[in-house]
Structure 1
């Protein structure tokens, strides 16, 4: 009973902050779109990514906004798509490119934890995560450029940004978008909460513990800990290093935990966000493409580390 109560408290806490972040993001988007000078300045800063990817010039604004508020940027892209300013392919490419600045906004909270628990090896792991995100951005920028039309890079970026972004959202539409996001996010969170109450997470953790224990008990413990909490995994990794384990080996183990966590806990935590903003079809597709790409890149870097 106590476990269920704690789980419900956790879910309510997580849901409240998720909805609050998305709501503030959409309202911030509305504010930015009605401040022409701010909008144009921010858009010009990100013009290089649209030149690199071949995306429409007005995608530069959501890219830059992703460094501060990923939910705001995603809402911008969805609004442009709803207004037929972006194709579905361009929506996917832009969203996947924006995952890199969104990652950087998230890593700000991890830097103190990584450095305090793992010292220089925490910095190494941080650089690996940034490299994974950067490579993902370049991959989808190249894919976007290969499928782009020539006319998108000819016209004035400032003119297009003002015309498209400035006319994409009014207050009524912003409130309507917020209501849809809150509804879908709440339903998705409740579904995952029910699955956890039924023991789905415990089953997965027990299964992984059993499977990985045949390889290495320390590795198994670190992987399962990462799936539960990344901060706890970093603390455990720091403990192993202080006890004499090779730091590079622990970083390799963390990468394995990162892959497992991305495919299990990452999907569970990201699903309300992606489904709430992008909808069922596009949300699941973008989430899976992004998650699988990061996991494959992590495995690639892990392979390189084992060869060194």
Structure 2
């Protein structure tokens, strides 16, 4: 490949990714240095208290509504300082699935409507939203069962009330930022380049074709609905939506069948794409081993919640 193509296909996307990671990392460090996490934790205090979750988890949950990078960076800082155990880190990352979903909700809805219409789009998006709510609720229930309760009034007791100083806060944030930035670049760049060339060499396409060719367990679906699933696995989500819109417009499938097909395609296609796109970004914030573990847990719970709403919708609709 020539230099121009390498820059367009690899250099510029990698530079944008690093810029986004660096900005989120600095914001998270600055917020912690200013003790703004105390205010953010108060927003989620009634919720996290139910699940016996720590203050930094509540702060990360609140931040995730605005920046997933900043939220994960805050968790990484707390984990690195020993404020969170391995189990608490996993639970915190899973708990953030709801605000992370809300970040992409408008884009998801307004892309889906033109393809399959407002009725099917509202049903499909609503079911995926219900799955996200269920995931966070499940974490609260699990946390309440397995984590020890915090003492009364201790939701934000881990944060100090040092006198406010922009100069000290910026210096503290910059020192932490430089240390984390080196680690972030060290892991992110090689992982991103590796995944880029795996895609160029056709590794992911081969895997997706294998999955698309072994869907015999979907015999309960009509061939038209299975074709939507295949398009979602073998191509991008928009291809599955385009196929669904064509089937719906031709009258080959009704709204219920389209929604079920899109949910099945979502369950089967997302884990591979999530790992391909999220691992370089996660590895820039956490250590690669931790990043892989978080993604596996995240995708497993996500798939389980989507299977649950899929079964519920299939039975009740």
Where on the TM-score scale, by shorter chain, does this alignment land: which range?
A: 0.7 to 0.9
Contact 1:205–1:224 (CA<8 Å) still a contact in 2? no
- Mapped to 2, the partners of 1:93 and 1:22 lie a distance apart of 22
Q: Given the alignment, which residue of 232, 240, 245 partners 1:238? A: 245
Per-residue CA distance 1:173-201 (angstroms, 9 max, x = gap): 11221222232122212222222222212
Shift of 1:13: 4.8
Which residue of structure 1 lines up, in the alignment, with residue 272 of structure 2?
264
Q: Tell me the equivalent position of 2:313.
A: 305
Write out per-residue CA displacement over residues 6-49 of structure 1, whole angstroms, 9 at most, x where no aligned residue: 7974444543333222111111112323444x543322111123
* Partner deviation per Cα, 1:240-263 (whole Å, 9 max, x = no partner): 222212011011001111011122
Structure 1 residue 287 and structure 2 residue 286: aligned?
Answer: no
Structure with greater helix percent: 1
Q: Is the 8 A contact 1:209 1:220 kept in 2?
A: no
**Relative to structure 1, is the Cα distance of residues 11 and 260 closer, same or farther in structure 2, using a 3 angstrom cutoff?**
farther
TM-score when normalising by structure 2: 0.85
**Which residue number corresponds to residue 137 of structure 2?**
138
Q: TM-score, normalised by structure 1?
A: 0.87
Give the direction of change, closer, same or farther, for the CA distance of 1:111–1:60 in structure 2 (3 Å limit).
same
Moved more, 93-102 or 114-123: 114-123
Matched with 2:127 is 128
For residues 209 and 91 of structure 2, the distance between their equivalents in structure 1, rounded to whole angstroms, comes to 37
Distance 1:73 1:82 in 2: 14
Query: What is the Cα deviation at residue 305 of structure 1?
Result: 2.6
For 2:30, the equivalent position in structure 1 comes to 31
SS of the residue 1:302 aligns to: helix
Cα separation, 2, equivalents of 1:92 and 1:35: 26
- What is the aligned length? 303
2 CA distance for matches of 1:304 and 1:20? 41
